[in-house]
Amino acid sequence: MQDISKLEAQLGYTFKNNKLLEQALTHRSAAKDHYERLEFLGDSVLGMVVSRELYNRFKNATEGELTRLRSQVVKGETLARLSRGLGLGEYIVFGPGELKSGSRRRASILADVLESIIGAIYIDADLHTVEAVILRLFIEPLADSNPEKIIKDPKTRLQEYLQARNIDLPEYQVTEVTGPAHKQHFTIECRINSLQLETQGEGGSRKVAEQDAAEKMYQRVTHE
């Protein structure tokens, strides 16, 4: 493993128990004591700290808006980008097979390791300390958070529109699945019984097809 003093300087935290940091940087292909348990803990700590920060920053944001803001801040893409900025890929210990497969650059692993380091700091210190580290690392993602700029997905937009008008929520049903198992195509029906309206959506997954059907339904109910 490389000299961790540079990494600790970038994190703004020096470990009392270096074994925790070593575990946080060890992939399961390399050793029995790997980062996955620390990742589990770090994910929860990160979510809690970011949730509290957003709650304090945006006094008038709704639960739904705060949830979507948190998802944007802690999404895997953001975690991987921050990990690359820290150069975490160069510190991760892999087994020979994983090393050859290019895992050092894999976004999902980089994101997981950042969470495992957060978990390790929490155990090595305390919540107050890890909170300071998180807020420093995530200063830009948090600064970019704005409830007014949240792009809601079609299903959410449709649900909120209907709820505001006390209209029954839509029902989604798969009407057709075609194609081979590795390349299926879904057709979904979106129905609002009280309005006697139906739309159909299509996509390469059930989720995509539901969003397509919801978008078409939203256009119908807002323009009729």
CA distance 173 to 170: 10
State the catalytic residue, choosing from 22, 39, 112, 115. 115
Kindly tell me the sign of the dihedral angle through the C-alpha atoms of 123, 129, 130, 131.
Answer: positive
Q: Among 98, 12, 32, which residue's Cα sits nearest to residue 22? A: 32
- C-alpha of 28 from chain center: 22
- C-alpha of 169 from chain center: 26
CB 68 within 8 A of CB 159: no
Is 144 a known active-site residue?
A: no
State the catalytic residue, choosing from 22, 39, 43, 215. 43
Is 124 a known active-site residue?
A: no
Sequence-distant (≥ 6) Cβ neighbours of residue 31 within 8 angstroms: 93
Question: Rounded to 5 degrees, what are φ and ψ at 140?
Answer: -75, -50
Alpha-carbon dihedral 94, 100, 105, 111, rounded to 10 degrees: -40
DSSP-based three-state secondary structure for 178: strand
Number of other residues whose CB lies within 10 A of the CB of residue 72: 19
Q: Which residues are catalytic?
A: 43, 115
